[in-house]
């Protein structure tokens, strides 16, 4: 009789304890019903008209029944009302603006699904530390969201309509993800940017995108990279220089490239490109970096080169490609030296390899970098020619002979 009583007593106490603990830790009051949320897909930050303030544009999904969001997946139609709503606010800080957007709506802002964070080029030049700080502090904001600088105002990229994806932020995020398949360097996530920012003397880069075209036929393209010193944009790389920048990191897959010689040209696909970097501190105090690049390339289109025999063509193309890659990296390196921005992360390599010598070098890093030598060795292989062996024109020539 006593035993069971005590067991029941203990059971009741346990149930009470567990339920009190669980209920106070979390509970119904923490619920966020989906229909009460504004799903934030993109965030654009620009300079405001008034000095010292920023203007923020938040793109949220239009979930109302006549909106196009749900249909977007299936047919991309944006009938009756847009797929998205752009909400604007300006204030002294990012949080200020987001709070205002939140306040002016009967829904709550759901920031987890943010696809992209855009900075207007003017804001990038002024510095982006403050908004980044706010984002980093927010536990709900994801660090994996990619960043991009818009040549123009950031809000223009959000309000633009890109078919077939009606939500421009999703479009931009997807585009950067596609490019990340080629090389991870194309997609700079917040966490990558901040990591680079924290390295000594390193200069982070963010891809620049440019909106072109008119109302219904707007397009966006990658237009080089913005080079940052600290948190301010100090210059930009052109598209060719950007390619050089990408090659210098290696780990590239399926990247297009083009070589030309006179009127002949060939479009190539870099199947894989790997780069081994090594840094040397010479005895005279100068620093030399050697990049050894191994690439496997497949020709996708060959035009011209009529005078060459098929057996000579491939080695020739290999040579041309090697030269092209070398030129692009050199061009990028020269620009970086001009800007005095170590976008390649050589400083960190040096620091890791020569920690003792680094103490002496770090005060004159700028000088070291501007005098740094780059030693590039490129080895290109073209193992296959695609589905056909010879160009159509060459075939005719062979028959004549």
Answer yes or no whether residue 113 interacts with another protein by CB under 8 A. Answer: yes
Answer yes or no whether residue 63 interacts with another protein by CB under 8 A. Answer: yes
Answer yes or no whether residue 58 interacts with another protein by CB under 8 A. Answer: no
Answer yes or no whether residue 105 interacts with another protein by CB under 8 A. Answer: no
Residues in 157-186 that interact with another protein by CB under 8 A: 167, 170
Nearest-CA neighbor of 380 among 310, 292, 305?
A: 292
Answer yes or no whether residue 106 interacts with another protein by CB under 8 A. Answer: no
CB of 24 to another protein, least distance (A): 11
Answer yes or no whether residue 112 interacts with another protein by CB under 8 A. Answer: yes
Q: Looking at 51-139, list the stretches that DSSP marks H as alpha helix, in order from N- to C-terminal side.
A: 69-74, 94-103, 121-126, 129-137
Quick one: which of 44, 97, 101, 110 contacts another protein (CB under 8 A)? 110
Q: What is the 3-state secondary structure (H, E, C) of 341-356?
A: CECCCHHHHHHHHCHH
CB of 20 to another protein, least distance (A): 13
Answer yes or no whether residue 31 interacts with another protein by CB under 8 A. Answer: yes
Quick one: which of 6, 24, 32, 103 contacts another protein (CB under 8 A)? 32
| DSSP labels, 201-267 | TB--EEEEEEEES-GGG-EEEEEEEEEEETTEEEEEE-HHHHHHHHHHH--EEEEEEEEEETTEEEE
Provide the 10 A C-beta neighbour count for residue 138: 13
Answer yes or no whether residue 42 interacts with another protein by CB under 8 A. Answer: no
Answer yes or no whether residue 334 interacts with another protein by CB under 8 A. Answer: no
CB of 117 to another protein, least distance (A): 15
255 beta partners: 270
CB of 72 to another protein, least distance (A): 7
Quote the CA–CA distance of 84 and 89 in Å, as a whole number: 16
Quick one: which of 6, 28, 388, 392 contacts another protein (CB under 8 A)? 28
Per the listing, tokens 């035993």 go with 3
Answer yes or no whether residue 61 interacts with another protein by CB under 8 A. Answer: yes
Answer yes or no whether residue 64 interacts with another protein by CB under 8 A. Answer: yes
Answer yes or no whether residue 34 interacts with another protein by CB under 8 A. Answer: yes
Total binding residues toward another protein, as defined by CB under 8 A? 37
CB of 22 to another protein, least distance (A): 6
* Cβ atoms 90, 21 nearer than 8 A: no
| DSSP labels, 314-341 | HHHHHHHHHHHHHHHHHHHHHHHHHHT-
Answer yes or no whether residue 82 interacts with another protein by CB under 8 A. Answer: no
Quote the CA–CA distance of 173 and 297 in Å, as a whole number: 28
Q: How far apart are the first and last CA of the chain?
A: 111
Nearest-CA neighbor of 188 among 340, 179, 253, 125?
A: 179
Q: Name which of 69 and 237 has its Cβ closer to another protein.
A: 69
Answer yes or no whether residue 12 interacts with another protein by CB under 8 A. Answer: yes
Which residues does 114 contact at the CB level (< 8 Å), separation at least 6?
40, 41, 42, 43, 141, 142, 145, 169
Answer yes or no whether residue 69 interacts with another protein by CB under 8 A. Answer: yes
The gap from C-alpha 290 to its chain's centroid, in whole angstroms, comes to 26
Quick one: which of 24, 26, 104, 399 contacts another protein (CB under 8 A)? 26
Residues in touch with another protein (CB under 8 A): 1, 4-5, 8-9, 12, 22-23, 25-28, 30-35, 37, 39, 41, 61, 63-65, 67, 69-70, 72-73, 110, 112-113, 115, 140, 167, 170
């Amino acid at each position: 009789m006593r035993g069971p009583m005590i067991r029941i007593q203990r059971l009741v106490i346990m149930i009470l304890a567990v339920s009190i603990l669980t209920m106070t830790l979390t509970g119904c009051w923490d619920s966020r019903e989906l229909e009460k949320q504004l799903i934030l897909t993109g965030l654009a930050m620009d300079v405001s008209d008034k000095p010292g303030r920023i203007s923020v544009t938040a793109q949220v999904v239009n979930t109302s029944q006549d909106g196009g969001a749900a249909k977007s997946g299936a047919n991309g139609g944006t009938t009756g009302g847009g797929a998205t709503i752009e909400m604007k606010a300006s204030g002294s800080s990012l949080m200020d603006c987001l709070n205002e957007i939140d306040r002016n709506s009967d829904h709550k802002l759901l920031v987890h699904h943010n696809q992209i964070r855009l900075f207007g080029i003017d804001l990038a030049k002024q510095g982006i530390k403050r908004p980044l700080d706010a984002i980093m502090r927010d536990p709900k904001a994801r660090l994996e969201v990619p960043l991009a600088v818009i040549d123009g105002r950031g809000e223009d990229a959000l309000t633009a309509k890109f078919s077939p994806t009606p939500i421009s932020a999703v479009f931009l995020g997807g585009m950067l993800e596609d490019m990340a398949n080629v090389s991870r360097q194309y997609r700079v996530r917040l966490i990558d940017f901040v990591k680079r920012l924290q390295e000594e003397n390193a200069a982070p880069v963010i891809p620049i995108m440019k909106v072109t075209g008119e109302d219904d036929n707007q397009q966006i393209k990658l237009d080089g990279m913005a080079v940052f010193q600290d948190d301010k944009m100090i210059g930009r790389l052109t598209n060719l220089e950007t390619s050089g920048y990408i090659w210098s990191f290696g780990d590239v897959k399926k990247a297009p490239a083009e070589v030309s010689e006179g009127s002949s040209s060939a479009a190539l696909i870099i199947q894989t490109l790997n780069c081994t970097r090594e840094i040397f501190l010479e005895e005279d105090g100068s620093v030399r970096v050697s990049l050894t690049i191994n690439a496997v390339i497949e020709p996708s289109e060959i035009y011209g080169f009529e005078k060459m025999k098929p057996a000579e063509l491939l080695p020739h193309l290999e040579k041309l490609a090697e030269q092209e890659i070398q030129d692009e990296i050199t061009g990028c390196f020269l620009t970086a030296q001009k800007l005095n921005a170590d976008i390649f992360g050589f400083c960190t390599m040096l620091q890791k390899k020569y920690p003792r010598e680094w103490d002496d070098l770090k005060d004159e890093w700028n000088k070291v970098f501007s005098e740094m030598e780059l030693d590039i060795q490129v080895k290109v292989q073209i193992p296959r020619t695609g589905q056909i062996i010879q160009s159509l024109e060459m075939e005719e020539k062979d028959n004549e002979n």
